[in-house]
Amino acid sequence: MKDCLKKVYFLTISVFLFHCSMNMEDKVLLDKEQIIDSNFSQSFVENFNKNKNFSSSYNIFFSEEVDEKLISSFIKGIEFGFFSNQDSMKSKLSFIAFNEESDCSTLKARGFNLVLVNDINSEFYRKCKRRLSRNFLFTSINIDSENEFIQIDKKSLLITGKSRNSKNNENTLSLKNSSDYEQKIADYFEINLSNERVRSLRNVLKEKINFSPRKRKDIDKIFIDALPNETKRIIPAIRYNLIFDAEVLTYPKSLDVWNSELSLSELNKVEGLEYPVLLNRINIFEKIIPKLNVNEKIAFSAGFDIFFFGAKIRGRSSNFSGLLGRYEIKENFLYSKPLKFRIDLSGVKQG
């Protein structure tokens, strides 16, 4: 990518005209047997169909330190937005790679200018965030939002997946070295201790004892920070062990309805923060999003949102949510914030 990413201009391509003029009305599709779409989709469709406000030119500057696969997905999201209607195809797109050791003055362009860096600690961002004009916005695909609802205390348990950072405290259950989630969770909640006591009593008394295993009463919230393929094992493991009293809350990027095998009953009473693209199956994206992993879905959605809803984002629209939720700009850096959600037997409420 470092040598082959060159300045490219995309002009109107008539062969895609039919696809690009597609309207999203009546295009929302849910897997009714698994998850019912949230109320997010309706507002998203309305914003999509009404939007005709695009910049005449978009200049996307990529740091060479950003992962190539994420850049590829990001560009696909921009292209998808570009080919979405005839108004968007009037814009001119430029993609330019740059070295972070370069001087700030090397980035010069008119129009909507976005600088994609690896993370908030980027040296280029630090030295250039005030030197570049207001026409430049910085962003990153790797930024994890602050989880404002998550307060791990003595009555809470955080379950972390194998690929997530484990917090070293007594309120964290790491699955990093375990393949038997049901057993690990049962051990933590001391369910097996209850079973052992009953077996001992049966051996002594030589008679049948009816009982339900007692669970720890000191946990009232269970937080899950794991990949979606881990979450779809963790939640059934919690239900399997009859842990119904505790609230179940998920961190962002822990659910993915595009590749989920969880039923609505299994997800009943689950809540948390999630990026809308991972919790809403909108039919217009069905040919591309299921093929992407979670991080690629996030990158694709960032590209789509920034191009298609760029005017709303830069205008700091307070009533707008894109595929990655709400956006905010701090010190010329663009952040996406996942939305709160709650699932019950009637479906998903998000927004």
Contacts of residue 248, defined as CB under 8 A and 6 or more positions apart, other chains included, come to 222, 224, 235, 238, 269, 270, 271
- Distance (Å, rounded) from C-alpha 183 to C-alpha 164? 20
pLDDT computed for residue 193 by the predictor: 45
pLDDT computed for residue 217 by the predictor: 62
pLDDT computed for residue 179 by the predictor: 83
Number of Cβ within a 10 Å radius of residue 52: 10
Residue whose tokens read 């300045």: 7
User: How many residues does the structure list for the chain?
Assistant: 351
222 with 243: CB under 8 angstroms?
yes
Per-residue pLDDT of the chain (351 residues; tens, 9 = 90+): 444 334 443 333 322 333 333 443 333 323 444 445 567 887 888 888 888 889 999 999 999 999 999 999 999 999 999 998 888 899 999 999 999 999 998 898 888 999 999 999 999 999 999 888 778 999 999 866 555 556 667 788 899 988 777 666 678 899 888 888 888 888 887 765 444 444 443 444 445 545 444 455 678 889 999 999 999 889 988 887 767 778 899 999 999 988 877 877 888 889 999 999 999 888 889 899 999 999 999 999 999 999 999 888 888 776 778 999 999 899 999 999 999 999 888 888 887
pLDDT computed for residue 325 by the predictor: 92
Number of Cβ within a 10 Å radius of residue 78: 24
Q: Could you list the beta-strand ranges (E) of 119-201.
A: 136-139, 156-160, 172-174
Contacts of residue 78, defined as CB under 8 A and 6 or more positions apart, other chains included, come to 58, 60, 93, 303, 304, 306, 307
Domain range list for the chain: 9-146+278-341, 156-250
108 with 27: CB under 8 angstroms?
no
Helix axes 294-308, 68-82, angle to 10 degrees: 40
Helix axes 228-240, 181-188, angle to 10 degrees: 50
CB half-sphere exposure, 341, CA atoms < 13 A: 34
Domain 9-146+278-341 falls in which CATH fold?
Answer: Rossmann fold (3.40.50)
pTM, 2 dp? 0.81
Structure confidence by residue, pLDDT tens digits, 78-94: 999 999 888 889 999 99
Structure confidence by residue, pLDDT tens digits, 297-323: 999 999 999 999 988 888 877 677 899
Structure confidence by residue, pLDDT tens digits, 91-131: 999 999 999 999 998 898 888 999 999 999 999 999 999 88
85 with 121: CB under 8 angstroms?
no
